[in-house]
Amino acid sequence: MAAGILLIICFHLMDKDFKGVLVELPFLLLNLVIIYLKHPFKNT
C-alpha cells in the first residue's frame, strides 16, 4: 500500500503538482506507521 502511495506521489512530482503531494503525504505516513507497528501481524 505504501509503495502505491509513493508511486502516486512520484506522478504528482512529475507533473509539479505539489498540492497533490501534500494531500498524499499523511496517507504515506500513516502507512509507514502501520508497517512500523507490524499491524496486524504483531505477535502478542
Q: What is the pLDDT of residue 20?
A: 93
**Which grid coordinates belong to 37?**
507497528
Query: Could you tell me the maximum CA-CA distance found in the chain, to the nearest angstrom?
Result: 44
- Give the pLDDT of residue 35: 85
The model's pTM: 0.75
Question: Which tens digit of pLDDT belongs to each residue from 1-44?
Answer: 889 999 999 999 999 999 999 999 999 999 999 888 876 666 65
pLDDT at 43: 65
Which pLDDT belongs to residue 10? 95
- Residue 13: predicted pLDDT: 94
DSSP 43: -
Residue 8 has a pLDDT of 94
Q: How far is CA 8 from CA 18, 23, 37, 41, 44, in A?
A: 12, 11, 23, 26, 34
Phi-psi region of 43 (alpha: psi -120 to 50; beta: other; left: phi over 0): beta
